[in-house]
């Protein structure tokens, strides 16, 4: 039954706010709650929305969201990607019969060329899905997909959560990158941030999780302040609660690190552990996350001889995680930046004393130094060591901070409060839509969107990517071309990709390619992405500006030239939303605040 039909039919029981229950489509391109903060957000918010009496349909891709059972108004609809980064075969090449349409072709080609396609391709699939179900939802809530497909009409008013701008993560990784190859790889991977800026500026209603994130969204993404609303998230305080029956292990320090990336600051905590063990030999660290085989953390553990003092755990249940945090003398959040910090809120909710940095929004969650936590500057292993030493050596301080921390979370950071605040913003968005003041830009139909094929050493456009016309259907066949609609894209073995009045050869630098033809064209723009050569976009051969170019590929191939797609289109060429082409997008899990990690 559609939302309109329900309004015309028998009266329904009101929601918790006394108004009509809402039908909510909650989108998440990556939803596993054991993999990062986005999945935790979807799981707990959807449950609390259902508790308030609303109907929530979570629409997600792999890794699929895990939802709490026992709520009649809560359901999951799977909108599958090709799942190119799954374990145990990440960066896999799909079999020919796995391809369903041109979006799949775009997903594979972007992965082959060093980009992360999932948010862009998910947004295109979600747009198609939502428009086919027009009238079924009162509101669409996007959980930081920020893809071009969600601009324009998606069948209901759109509300978007941005946990924090991924430009922060990008800069931290660029600062830590060693060597030009790594630098270019990071730039390529984070090329989606251009698309996110373009999409974010056109969103009518943005939710974020902290005041710090709100300011970062204004500064980095250019979103107007009056469109951004802070709705704090929090901890499941029924689950994360004190339990005196769980024994505390002397010297145990617990932290969460979903990925070995500079943002999480784990290397500084490992260095601090080495220092503090000189005075507290029992001190040891348990990391909820995957053990890195190489990189700064692995190197620091080897350098300081800490293999026996650092343990990594993953794949644990909620109950096991809670008991692990309860068993620690200290919980630590060493991050250089967080848009919120769920691990901080969850640790405080258990009554475990918290040592945290002042990076990003962490102080908003953790509170004042010496009152509800110990706070130290980010990236300072000496300060972390001093804080650990204070807490490990002072039982009274641990007890005081633990009790005050839980009280702070109960007052300010619960999922029930988050759901209530989110519903208020839903109703505002619906009211604006009904008044004809959505403030959203129109976007072309998905079949006329020009999408890019970005490569680390190939044709480069405004998003650091080469463009591929995908306005028609995609055919992946051996030795033949395809045509569909006005334009088509065929990824063939020994064939060509046809786009408009030309053909396209897509050979990604250093990666396998489904096409071995000699040239590419989309409309009247030609792009040759050839192994060991260079590419030309449009009618120009001028190299793009350094900020737009991915530069030479790691394989040593020559850089390509391409059109700066952020420039206005030439006369006679159709324009997509403010940037003409959509870039490969991502949230590289390690990108948002994360609560637990198993991947």
Residue 328 in domain:
yes
Place of tokens 């604006």: 432
What pLDDT sits at residue 9? 61
pLDDT of residue 10: 60
- The pLDDT assigned to 5 comes to 53
Cα four-point dihedral sign 512, 517, 522, 527: positive
Q: Is residue 103 part of a domain?
A: no
Residue 3 has a pLDDT of 52
331 and 271 together in one domain: yes
Q: In sequence order, what are the residues at sequence separation of 6 or more whose Cβ sits closer than 8 angstroms to the Cβ of residue 33?
A: 39, 40, 42, 43, 65, 66, 595, 596
Same domain for 380 and 262:
yes
Note down the domain range covering 328: 252-412
Task: Write out pLDDT tens, residues 57-76.
Answer: 999 999 999 999 999 999 99
* Cβ burial, residue 543 (10 Å; 0-12/13-18/19+): middle
Q: Tell whether 267 and 224 lie within a shared domain.
A: no
Question: Are both 374 and 287 inside the same structural domain?
Answer: yes
Q: Give the Cα separation of 72 and 377 in Å (integer).
A: 46
Note whether 348 and 272 are same-domain residues.
yes
Cβ–Cβ under 8 Å, residues 584 and 30 = no
- The reply to whether 9 and 152 lie within a common domain is yes
List the CATH number of the domain containing 45: 3.40.50.2000
Query: Are 133 and 277 contained in the same domain?
Result: no
pLDDT of 188: 87
CB 517 within 8 A of CB 509: no
Question: Is residue 553, in this structure, part of any structural domain at all?
Answer: no
Shared domain for 24 and 67, answered yes or no, is yes
Cα(36)–Cα(342) distance, rounded to whole angstroms? 10
Residues 75 and 46 in one domain: yes
Residues 259 and 278 in one domain: yes
Residues 374 and 390 sit within 8 Å (Cβ to Cβ) = yes
Question: pTM of the entire structure?
Answer: 0.71
Q: Is residue 177 part of a domain?
A: no
568 CB-near residues (< 8 Å, 6+ apart): 575
**240 part of a folded domain:** no
Question: Considering its fold, how many domains does the chain have in total?
Answer: 2
Counting Cα atoms < 13 Å in the Cβ hemisphere of 467 gives: 29
Q: Is 16 helix (H, G, I), strand (E, B) or coil?
A: coil
Same domain, 364 and 426: no
CA distances from 271 to 285, 369, 499 (A): 11, 22, 54
In-domain check, residue 69: yes
**What local confidence, expressed as pLDDT, does residue 169 receive?**
80
Examine the domain organization and report whether 402 and 430 are in the same domain.
no
Crossing angle for the helix pair 296-303 and 266-276, to the nearest 10 degrees: 10
Name residues of the chain where pLDDT drops below 70.
1-11, 34-36, 259, 437-599
Within a domain: 487: no
Q: Please name the residue that has the structure tokens 């984070």.
A: 190
Residue 569 is assigned to a structural domain of this protein: no
């Amino acid at each position: 039954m559609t939302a309109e039909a329900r309004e015309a039919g028998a009266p329904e029981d009101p929601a918790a706010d006394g108004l009509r229950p809402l039908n909510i489509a909650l989108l998440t391109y990556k939803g596993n709650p054991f993999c990062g903060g986005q999945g935790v957000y979807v799981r707990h918010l959807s449950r609390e929305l259902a508790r308030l009496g609303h109907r929530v349909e979570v629409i997600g891709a792999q890794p699929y969201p895990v939802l709490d059972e026992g709520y009649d108004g809560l359901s999951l609809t799977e909108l599958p990607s090709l799942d190119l980064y799954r374990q145990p075969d990440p960066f896999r090449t799909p079999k020919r019969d796995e391809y369903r349409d041109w979006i799949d072709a775009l997903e594979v080609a972007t992965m082959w060329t060093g980009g992360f396609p999932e948010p862009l391709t998910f947004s295109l699939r979600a747009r198609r899905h939502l428009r086919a179900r027009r009238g079924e939802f009162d509101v669409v809530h996007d959980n930081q997909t920020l893809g071009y497909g969600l601009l324009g009409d998606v069948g209901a008013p759109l509300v978007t959560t941005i946990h924090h701008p991924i430009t922060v993560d990008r800069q931290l990784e660029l600062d830590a990158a060693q060597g030009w190859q790594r630098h270019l790889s990071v730039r390529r991977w984070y090329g989606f941030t251009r698309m996110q800026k373009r999409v974010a500026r056109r969103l009518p209603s943005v939710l974020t999780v902290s005041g710090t994130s709100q300011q970062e969204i204004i500064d980095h993404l250019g979103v107007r302040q009056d469109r951004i609303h802070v709705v704090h998230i929090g901890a499941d305080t029924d689950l994360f609660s004190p339990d005196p029956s769980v024994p505390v292990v002397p010297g145990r320090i617990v932290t969460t690190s979903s990925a070995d990336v500079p943002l999480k600051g784990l290397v500084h905590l490992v260095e601090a552990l080495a220092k503090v063990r000189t005075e507290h030999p029992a001190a040891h660290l348990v990391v909820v996350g995957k053990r890195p085989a190489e990189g700064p953390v692995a190197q620091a553990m080897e350098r300081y001889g800490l293999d026996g003092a650092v343990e990594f755990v993953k794949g644990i249940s909620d109950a096991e995680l809670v008991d692990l945090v309860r068993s620690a003398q200290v919980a630590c959040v060493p991050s250089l930046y967080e848009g919120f910090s769920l691990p901080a809120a969850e640790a405080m909710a258990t009554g475990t004393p918290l040592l945290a940095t002042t990076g990003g929004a962490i102080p908003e969650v953790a509170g004042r130094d010496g009152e509800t936590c110990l706070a130290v500057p980010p990236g300072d292993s000496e300060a972390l060591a001093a804080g650990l030493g204070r807490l490990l050596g002072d039982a009274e301080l641990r007890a005081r901070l633990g009790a005050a921390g839980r009280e702070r979370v109960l007052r300010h950071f619960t999922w029930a409060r988050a759901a209530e605040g989110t519903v208020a913003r839903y109703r505002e968005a619906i009211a604006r839509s009904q008044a004809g003041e959505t403030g959203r830009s129109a976007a072309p139909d998905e079949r006329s969107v020009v999408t890019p094929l970005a490569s680390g050493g190939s044709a480069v456009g405004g998003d650091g990517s080469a463009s591929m016309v995908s306005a028609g259907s995609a055919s992946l066949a051996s030795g033949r071309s395809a045509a569909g609609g006005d334009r088509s894209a065929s990824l063939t073995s020994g064939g060509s990709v046809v786009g408009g009045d030309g053909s396209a050869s897509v050979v990604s630098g250093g990666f396998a390619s489904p096409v071995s033809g000699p040239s590419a064209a989309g409309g009247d723009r030609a792009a040759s992405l050839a192994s060991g050569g260079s590419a030309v976009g449009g009618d120009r051969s001028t190299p793009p500006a350094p900020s737009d170019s991915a530069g030479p590929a790691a394989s040593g191939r020559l850089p390509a030239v391409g059109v700066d797609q952020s420039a206005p289109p030439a006369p006679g060429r159709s324009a997509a939303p403010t940037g003409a082409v959509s870039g490969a997008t991502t949230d590289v899990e390690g990108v948002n605040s994360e609560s637990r990690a198993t991947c």
